[in-house]
Amino acid sequence: MTLFEYRQHYADLNNRISHAQAELDDELISTKDEFHKLYQRQQVIDKCWFVSHLDYFLKHKQRFQSSNELGDIIIDFLTLYRYAGLAGGAAFSSKSSCKIFIKDLLNLWDEGFTYQGFPIIGYEWYIHQGKKIIITYVKNCRIEVVSTDYLTTKNPLELPEEVVKKVQQANVYSKYPDWQTYKTIDAVRRVLNKRELGDEMA
């Protein structure tokens, strides 16, 4: 192959890549609304299934924490934290979209992301002439919610700053956009339905 032919071949490949990227962008734009409806519906289904089977994940958490195959499942249906409110006359809201590896979620629960010992699946912190906190947690495989009014004193539901920081740092949302393929909780759902994990995990 001559230098000219190599350059031509490289240019042709570049053109094909650019064309494919343009097609992908057009497809994402044209199907965005439909996709998000399907995505949000699936998140509700996954959340209900996950909560109803949470005892299973807690019972076998060491396997999920230590296994690359199981640990890299991404949980994308929990709003683990949200900060919002009105302070100094200006409204603000933090990004609440969250994706987290299941091994990291289980680690967070071990490290104190809990309410009275129960796993937290949502921590909302609002400010407006005081702090209001809403905690969503799982007790006996059921979703429970506890909240306060806006308090100017120390809020009894406020979690330690280092715990909340760990939750934020575990968020991998920016690495896995909604349209990107990644391993979801459905991987475990299929296995559990078929009872293929063996007696020790049945």
What pLDDT, on a 0 to 100 scale, did the predictor assign at position 202? 41
**Residue 60: which region, alpha, beta or left (left: phi > 0; alpha: psi -120 to 50)?**
alpha
Where are the domains positioned within the chain?
Answer: 53-201
Angle at 44 between CA 39 and CA 50, to 5 degrees: 115
Q: Which helix (H) or strand (E) holds 147?
A: strand 142-147
Q: With H, G, I as helix, E, B as strand and everything else as coil, classify residue 69.
A: helix
Q: Give the pLDDT of residue 96.
A: 73
* Bridge partner list, 118: 115
Count of Cβ atoms closer than 10 Å to residue 18 Cβ: 10
pLDDT, one tens digit for every residue, the chain (202 residues): 888 888 999 999 999 999 999 998 888 888 888 888 998 999 999 999 999 999 999 999 999 998 888 889 999 999 999 988 876 666 777 767 799 999 999 999 999 999 999 999 999 999 888 899 999 999 999 999 999 999 999 999 999 999 999 999 999 988 988 778 899 999 888 877 765 444 444 4
Structure tokens at 160: 């330690």
Between CA 176 and CA 190 the distance in angstroms is 22
Contact 66, 33 (CB under 8 A): no
The string over 115-132, giving b where at least 16 C-beta atoms fall within 10 Å of a residue's C-beta and e elsewhere, is beeebbbbbbbbbeeebb
Residue among 184, 176, 126 at smallest CA distance from 134: 126
Q: How far, in Å, CA of 54 to CA of 31, rounded?
A: 33
Q: What is the Cα–Cα distance from 137 to 116, expressed in whole angstroms?
A: 10
d(CA 65, CA 156): 31
Q: How far is CA 163 from the centre of its chain?
A: 16
Spatial CB neighbours of 10, under 8 Å, sequence gap ≥ 6: none
